[in-house]
Amino acid sequence: MRRIIDYIRRKLSIRVSLVVVVFAALIFVAALSFFFLRARGAVREEAINRATQILDKTSLQVEGILNRVEVATAMTEWLVQRHPENSDSMFVYSRGMLLNNPDFYNCSIAFEPYYFKERGRYCSAYSRNIGGEIRTIQGGSDNYQYFYMDWYLMAKLLDQPCWTEPYMDLDVSTNTSEMVSSYCKPIKDSDGHFIGVINTSLSLSWLSETISALKPYPHSFSIMIGRGGTYFVHPDPSKISRETIFTHTLEDMNLPVSDLGHAMQRGEEGMMHTKVNGEDCYVFYKPLGKTGCSMAIICPERDVFSGFDHLRRAVLMMVFVGLLLMLFLFIRIITRELKPLRRLAAEAETIASGKLDTELPELDRIDEIGQLSQSFGNMQQSLVKYIDELKNTTAQKASIERDLHIASQIQMGMLPKNFPDRIYATLTPAKDVGGDLFDFHIRDGKLFFCIGDVSGKGVPASLFMAVTRSVFRTVSAHEEMPNRIMDSLNKTMADMNETNMFVTLFIGVLDLATGNMHYCNAGHDAPLLVGAGVGILPCDSNIPVGFMPDWKYSLQEAEIYSGTTIFLFTDGLTEAENINHELFNMNRVIEVATEALDAREQEPRKIIARMTEAVHEYVGEADQSDDLTMMAIQFIKD
Amino acid sequence: MKKIGILAAFLVVLGIQPAAAQQQDTLVFTPQWMAQAQFAGYYVAEVKGFYREAGVNVKIKHPSPTQPAMAMLKNNVSQAITLQLCQAIEMVDGGLPIVNILQTSMNNGMMIVSARGRDPLKHKGAKVGIWSVGFGQLAICMSIKDNLEYEWIRFAQNINLFLSGALDAMLAMSYNEYNQLLQAGLEIGADCVYRFCDHGYNVQEDGVYMTRKYYLKHQEQARCFAEASRRGWEWAAEHPEETLDIVMEYVGRDNIATNRVMQRLMLMEILRLQVDRESGERAFRLRPDMVQLASRLMTENAMLDHEITYEELVP
């Protein structure tokens, strides 16, 4: 499953096709559901109309015959009442009934025991139509005591005409039985006393055949039940007159057919959706006149809706196949449309691998893919051009870096490399070439030294630094006072300063014999004196060198005691940043110097080494942001 | 004449007895009603060969409308029939000495089922259906004793008269008509049913009877027949579904309008009625106290000329 999902996720064509087809399927489902619902309702209505018409027609047909029986019986009763004294007449009337109505099964005109004294206990004028021949006999005997029979008792007890429950009539003489139903009418004498019953029976074979033939659907069937629910018409002959509609409910109370049975027993007419033999059915039922019987047409739901179901299945199948076809076509079309994209992707891979001159496919298209291809071609050309430029630039950069390296070496070469005892200095540029400088030389028993920091960094700063250092050397070769050296240097630098650069500079001249030191500070950080203690050499506020050629720098003087180390530095020390951009600051410089003093390590190399270590520890992994220059001079009086 | 003699000799050689001689040994047994589970034990005994094993040749012959069981016994068409105890008492009182060779029922299954939800005991003067062929003696006694003045409507057929609304109530057997009423979709509340066994009328019903005259001549045959019949009933109690298969064979053979569900309910109820309420056993014996109860009730209500004793009914 995961593999399929992964495959779909990789295939745009399948993904897009699926989305479209699923959306189309949803629309189809909604539309078809609505259609099927309405169509099913219409089919159901049609089934109801159809069954109702059949039942009405059959009912009318049955009632027509029943009415004839009732009318004929009433006429015979009239005759019997006109001549109640003559028992022989009863046989004539009984026979006449069947002669006039050859479709009647039999007719009995039966009287209460001993009503006719001359006839004794039994007097029942019984006529029976046997194949067109009317046979009339005395119907009562010890073996057939008619006055205990249902047909006789019903009319007598109910005191009104009624139809009996259908029953099997056994003709002993022919040993044949026939399912019949009898219409029984009580006979009253002129005083209104009950004297007997006229019974006219109809064979139900025709009714059974008529009802059995009601078959509006291939698997539908008809039933007829009596008052007691007994089946008198049923497709299963073994049930006829043996089972009732309720028989199986005695063992399974929940059978839904029970409701149908009761509705039919009540003589109701209607339709019921219920389960018959475990199958969903529509049952249409209607009473059969006044017989107490009820007929029903049972139509399996699958039959009623079979045409509809076929149509539905066909439509659903077509939609399903259509959607599949649609999915297939979409995938094919989208795959075909995306083919140039795939080629483009492959070419892009090739280009990405470095083959920039790969030839792109020619697309004769003006759509988005064509535009993309064109853009891709443009991009390829731009890329080739850019790469060429990049190559040149890289070459130039390499050349510059080489130059810079040489420049750095030249710059570093300008700085003193050999340090006498008690003097030491380091310069660590932030870039290849830096803007810091320091220098010293001894002339006439005096140590001339300077430390400076050119504004900016890199090559310009290094050039400015080189000039500053050269001028310092030149001026300090004949000038003794630092302020004059500074003035001279300032004038020279300001005059040639087209780029508005400047340099902070500290110049000192230490008399090595006395320890007397003249100094001048042009905006540089004041040096520390590390001797008996650690202190900052007081410095006047002077502007850096290079701004104003006429500026007069002040001269300051200090007495340096033997053993004191003058610690000079650039702002690369105090402004060294750690990873959190926090500055090393002056306090830490003083702290480290104090520690060195305490450890009696104020000797130049040691104090610079300790300071360098402290700075490196503080800065950690952070980049060096500025040139770092330190110079230490320890004065030892001879 | 000579030819007949030769034929007779030929038959003897073949081991075939003349029909008259065979007739002598065959016991024709007639249940008092058409084929149904009420007589399952006898069918089982016949089908399972219990009669044959007992050495008695039994032929079960059901009555017909023209030949009721009692008439068949009287006319010696049948040598054994089933009867309800009250009917047997009536027959003895009527002058035909009969003996009970096997009693199957130990309880009374008769009831009054009332229509329209009325309590039968509160429906004075109700039109109550009663079988035209008898069986209703206890009901008549009860009606008189409880001063209910029922109007008895004798009817020949089944429940249709009651269903048509022509009767207020009807007598029913708990194993037959009662089930038929249920099968007709009737919902019968407990208030509409009066069971005689619960109101001091628990009189045994079905038993097998022979004329005393026949019995005295064929005591061994009667004993074997009764024993095999009892075995049939005991087998039926143990194998109700197989018994039902046998019953349905007999029902089908006589084309009786019934069904398996009805016959199953009937068999279960008949088997239930065969268990003595007091001992909890299938006793298969006539109880003197029940004979006395039935006889006294019928005498009190002028149905008998004299009270019939237990001794008059047993061999």
CA distance to A91, A208, A224, A240, A243, per residue, from B256 (Å): 33, 20, 20, 11, 11
Q: In this structure, is residue B12 part of a structural domain? A: no
Is the Cβ of A257 closer than 8 Å to some Cβ of chain B?
Answer: no
Interface probe with A: pick from B155, B170, B248, most Cβ of A within 10 Å: B155
State phi, psi for B69 to the nearest 5 degrees: -60, -45
> Across the interface, which of A165, A243, A251 has its CB nearest the CB of B160?
A165
Per the CB < 8 Å rule, is B160 touching A229? no
A163 CA to chain B: closest CA distance, Å?
Answer: 9
Q: What angle do CA A109, A113, A118 make, to 5 degrees?
A: 85
Quickly list DSSP for A516-529. Answer: EEEEEEESPPPPEE
Within 164-183 of A, beta carbons closer than 8 Å to B belong to 164-165, 167-168, 172
Which helix (H) or strand (E) segment holds residue B309: the answer is none
Can you give the pLDDT at residue B174? 95
Is the Cβ of A628 closer than 8 Å to some Cβ of chain B?
Answer: no
* Tokens describing residue B191: 């208030």
State the Cα–Cα distance between residues B255 and B251, nearest whole angstrom. Answer: 6
Domain that holds residue B149: 110-198
Q: What angle do CA B5, B9, B12 make, to 5 degrees?
A: 140
User: Quick check: B148 and B126 in contact, CB under 8 A?
Assistant: yes
Evaluate whether A83-203 and A211-305 have a shared fold. Answer: yes
Span A453-473, average pLDDT: 83
Q: Which tens digit of pLDDT belongs to each residue from A208-244? A: 888 888 888 888 899 999 988 999 888 888 888 889 9
Is the Cβ of A374 closer than 8 Å to some Cβ of chain B?
Answer: no
Residues B293 and B170 in one domain: no
Can you give the pLDDT at residue A507? 94
Per the CB < 8 Å rule, is B184 touching A230? yes
Interface probe with A: pick from B154, B179, B182, B261, most Cβ of A within 10 Å: B261
Q: Read off the pTM.
A: 0.66
State the Cα–Cα distance between residues A435 and A567, nearest whole angstrom. Answer: 19
User: Quick check: B196 and B143 in contact, CB under 8 A?
Assistant: no
pLDDT beyond 70 at B209: yes
State the Cα–Cα distance between residues A246 and A262, nearest whole angstrom. Answer: 9
At A400, is the pLDDT very low, low, confident or very high (cuts 50, 70, 90)? confident
Residues B89 and B213 in one domain: yes
Is the Cβ of A258 closer than 8 Å to some Cβ of chain B?
Answer: yes
At A277, is the pLDDT very low, low, confident or very high (cuts 50, 70, 90)? confident
Residues B136 and B46 in one domain: no
B101 CA to chain A: closest CA distance, Å?
Answer: 29
Spatial CB neighbours of B155, under 8 Å, sequence gap ≥ 6: A148, A149, A150, A153, B129, B130, B131, B132, B161, B170
> Across the interface, which of B65, B154, B259 has its CB nearest the CB of A242?
B259
Per the CB < 8 Å rule, is A227 touching B154? no
Say if domain A211-305 classifies as CATH 3.10.150.10.
Answer: no
Can you give the pLDDT at residue A556? 94
Residues B210 and B308 in one domain: yes
Can you give the pLDDT at residue A429? 79
Can you give the pLDDT at residue B8? 41
Q: Give A241's contacts in chain B (Cβ within 8 Å).
A: 257
Residues B94 and B235 in one domain: yes
Domain containing residue B248: CATH number: 3.40.190.10
Final residue before a domain boundary, out of B150, B177, B198 = B198
Quickly list DSSP for A543-557. Answer: PPBTS-TTPPPPPEE
A83-203: CATH number: 3.30.450.20
User: E-strand spans in A217-358?
Assistant: 221-225, 231-233, 270-276, 279-287, 294-300
Q: In this structure, is residue B4 part of a structural domain? A: no
pLDDT beyond 90 at A153: yes
Per the CB < 8 Å rule, is A239 touching B167? no
State the Cα–Cα distance between residues B114 and B182, nearest whole angstrom. Answer: 13
pLDDT beyond 60 at B6: no
Interface probe with B: pick from A141, A160, A176, A247, most Cβ of B within 10 Å: A247
Residues B98 and B122 in one domain: no
Say if domain A416-634 classifies as CATH 3.50.50.60.
Answer: no
State the Cα–Cα distance between residues A321 and A15, nearest whole angstrom. Answer: 19
Q: In this structure, is residue B2 part of a structural domain? A: no
Is the Cβ of B66 closer than 8 Å to some Cβ of chain A?
Answer: yes
Span A398-407, average pLDDT: 83
User: Quick check: B129 and B167 in contact, CB under 8 A?
Assistant: yes
Taking CA–CA distances from B167, the nearest residue in chain A reads A157
Q: Which residue has the tokens 């029953």?
A: A167
> Across the interface, which of B153, B155, B261 has its CB nearest the CB of A247?
B261
A296 CA to chain B: closest CA distance, Å?
Answer: 17
Can you give the pLDDT at residue A40? 85
Q: In this structure, is residue B29 part of a structural domain? A: yes
Q: What angle do CA A92, A93, A98 make, to 5 degrees?
A: 100
A283 CA to chain B: closest CA distance, Å?
Answer: 18
In chain B, % of residues over pLDDT 70: 92
Residues B157 and B303 in one domain: no
Spatial CB neighbours of A121, under 8 Å, sequence gap ≥ 6: A113, A114, A140
Final residue before a domain boundary, out of B167, B198, B229 = B198
Q: In this structure, is residue B209 part of a structural domain? A: yes
CA distance to A491, A546, A570, per residue, from A522 (Å): 13, 10, 12
Can you give the pLDDT at residue A433? 67
Per the CB < 8 Å rule, is A150 touching B161? yes
Q: In this structure, is residue B33 part of a structural domain? A: yes
B259 CA to chain A: closest CA distance, Å?
Answer: 6
State the Cα–Cα distance between residues A571 and A503, nearest whole angstrom. Answer: 12
Residues B124 and B268 in one domain: no
Can you give the pLDDT at residue B55? 94
Can you give the pLDDT at residue A99? 93
Can you give the pLDDT at residue A44? 83
Residues B153 and B225 in one domain: no
Can you give the pLDDT at residue A172? 67
Residues B163 and B212 in one domain: no
Is the Cβ of B77 closer than 8 Å to some Cβ of chain A?
Answer: no
Can you give the pLDDT at residue A428? 85
Per the CB < 8 Å rule, is A246 touching B183? yes
Domain coordinates of chain A in residue numbers?
83-203, 211-305, 416-634
Q: Which tens digit of pLDDT belongs to each residue from A310-363? A: 888 898 899 899 999 998 999 899 888 888 888 888 888 888 887 777 777 777
pLDDT beyond 80 at A456: no
Q: In this structure, is residue B15 part of a structural domain? A: no
Provide the phi-psi class of A7: left if phi over 0, else alpha when psi is between -120 and 50, else beta.
alpha
Residues B103 and B215 in one domain: yes
Can you give the pLDDT at residue A431? 67
B125 CA to chain A: closest CA distance, Å?
Answer: 14
Q: Give A251's contacts in chain B (Cβ within 8 Å).
A: 261, 264
Quickly list DSSP for A413-449. Answer: HHS-----TTEEEEEE-SSSS-SEEEEEEEETTEEEE
Final residue before a domain boundary, out of B169, B198, B227 = B198
In terms of DSSP bridges, do strands A194-203 and A221-225 run parallel, antiparallel, or are they unpaired? Answer: unpaired
A26 CA to chain B: closest CA distance, Å?
Answer: 50
B157 CA to chain A: closest CA distance, Å?
Answer: 6
Into how many domains does chain B fold? Answer: 2
In chain A, % of residues over pLDDT 70: 99
Span B155-163, average pLDDT: 86
Q: Which tens digit of pLDDT belongs to each residue from A576-632? A: 888 888 899 899 999 999 999 998 888 999 999 999 999 999 988 888 778 889 999
State the Cα–Cα distance between residues A153 and A40, nearest whole angstrom. Answer: 51
State the Cα–Cα distance between residues A112 and A124, nearest whole angstrom. Answer: 9
Considering only A285-299, A344-358, B92-106, which range has the smallest mean pLDDT?
A344-358
Residues B165 and B218 in one domain: no
State the Cα–Cα distance between residues B220 and A246, nearest whole angstrom. Answer: 47
Per the CB < 8 Å rule, is A158 touching B166? yes
Is the Cβ of B164 closer than 8 Å to some Cβ of chain A?
Answer: yes
Burial A599-638 (b: 16+ CB within 10 A, else e): eebbbbbbbbbbbbebbeebbeeeebebbbbbbbbbbeee
Span B82-101, average pLDDT: 95
Residue A144 DSSP code: B
The residue with greater pLDDT, A227 or B9, is A227
> Across the interface, which of B156, B164, B182 has its CB nearest the CB of A148?
B156
At A11, is the pLDDT very low, low, confident or very high (cuts 50, 70, 90)? confident
Per the CB < 8 Å rule, is B182 touching A164? no
Is the Cβ of A245 closer than 8 Å to some Cβ of chain B?
Answer: yes
Tell me the CB-side half-sphere exposure of residue A207, using CA atoms within 13 A.
Answer: 32
